[in-house]
Chain A
Amino acid sequence: MVPLFSAEGLSSLVFLVIVMTTVLGAVIATHSERLIRAVTGLAICFIGVSGLYYYLNSPFVALMEMLIYVGAVCVTIVFAVMLADPKPEIEVGKGSIFTGPLSFALGILLFWGLSSLAGKTAWISTPERINDGSLEEVGKALLTNYSMVFELISLVLLLAIIGALVLARQGRSQTGGES
């Protein structure tokens, strides 16, 4: 326990606000009727997760979370919502038993199981660290130990771009919309 009006206490208070933002965004993302609001909730949730990364001593990953998820993935989903024009999900939760109470019970069960497992396990702390985990060390490890994975993920991204173009193109030509 730390006093509230000190640096640690205020940072703990800000941490609580960030956790609330994350959970609120996740609830909006899964419960809103219109998909565009769900995407907005997803963006709010990712801003909260980015703040959590900042509290975990990695401001670079926090910045990347903000750039990639809030800036790229959410905007891409907004484009898909615009192009696919889904109707508002008034009928959310009125399907079979799987989509109603059973899915809620399964989510609660997963959350309870995982968090009780995290609380019961005796985590063994590391004796010492071999570096400080700064951005410079991340760059060194990325270009020495993990250079193969680094190259492979660029290949995966290239294939994803080409595959996305081919898939969207095929759907267009089958409807005969253009000559």
Chain B
Amino acid sequence: MSIPAFGDNLITYLIIAALLFGIGFYGLVHRRTLIGMLIAGELILAGASLNFMAFNRFLAPDPTVGQIFTLFIMGIAAAEAAIALSIIIAVYRNFRTIDVDDIAELNG
């Protein structure tokens, strides 16, 4: 019995990152609440940082750059989650809902 060495191949990681990105994009369009859209955005960021780490492991001459970039993506994602959640709580206090179809005051 034999099995391909999946973990040692750049294309495998790129395909997984593309799959995470596609699922995240689908969720971002598909979800009807703000928290669901935030979760899908986190999936997109995870796909992007997985791409950076894969290129860092297989192609980069300096293998610290991708790790540092991924750490900064994590910091930005944490700040984005905190801001987005406080916006969501403020929206909930004003509208009593976080459904994106009901928050339509600017719709005219």
Among the listed A29, A58, A175, which residue makes an inter-chain contact with B53, where contact means beta carbons less than 8 Å apart? A58
Which residues in window 75-106 of B have CB below 8 A to A?
75-83, 85-94, 98-99, 101
CB-CB under 8 A for A149 and B7, given A92-B31, A103-B30: no
Chain A residues closer than 8 Å to B43, beta-carbon distance = 26, 29-30, 42, 45
Q: Closest approach, in angstroms, between the C-beta of B43 and any C-beta of chain A? A: 6
Chain B residues closer than 8 Å to A119, beta-carbon distance = 11, 15
Among the listed A15, A46, A125, which residue makes an inter-chain contact with B6, where contact means beta carbons less than 8 Å apart? A15
Which applies to chain B's interface (DSSP): helix, strand, loop or mixed? helix
Which applies to chain A's interface (DSSP): helix, strand, loop or mixed? helix
Quick check: B1 and A4 within 8 Å, CB to CB? yes
Among the listed B5, B14, B57, B58, which residue makes an inter-chain contact with A115, where contact means beta carbons less than 8 Å apart? B14
Chain A residues closer than 8 Å to B21, beta-carbon distance = 110-111, 114
- Smallest Cβ-Cβ distance to A56: which chain B residue: B57
The number of A-B residue pairs with CB atoms under 8 Å apart is 281
Quick check: B32 and A170 within 8 Å, CB to CB? no
Q: Closest approach, in angstroms, between the C-beta of B16 and any C-beta of chain A? A: 6
How many chain B residues have a CB neighbour from A under 8 Å? 79
The complex places the Cα of A87 from the Cα of B12 at a distance, in Å, of: 38
Among the listed B23, B64, B86, which residue makes an inter-chain contact with A137, where contact means beta carbons less than 8 Å apart? B64
The complex places the Cα of A29 from the Cα of B38 at a distance, in Å, of: 11
The complex places the Cα of A84 from the Cα of B53 at a distance, in Å, of: 35
Chain A residues closer than 8 Å to B93, beta-carbon distance = 171-172, 174-175
Q: Closest approach, in angstroms, between the C-beta of B8 and any C-beta of chain A? A: 8
Chain B residues closer than 8 Å to A138, beta-carbon distance = 64, 67-68
Q: Give 4 closest A-B pairs by Cβ, nearest first.
A: A133-B63, A171-B90, A107-B26, A111-B22
Q: List 6 A-B contacts (CB under 8 A).
A: A30-B27, A53-B53, A123-B58, A133-B67, A164-B86, A171-B92
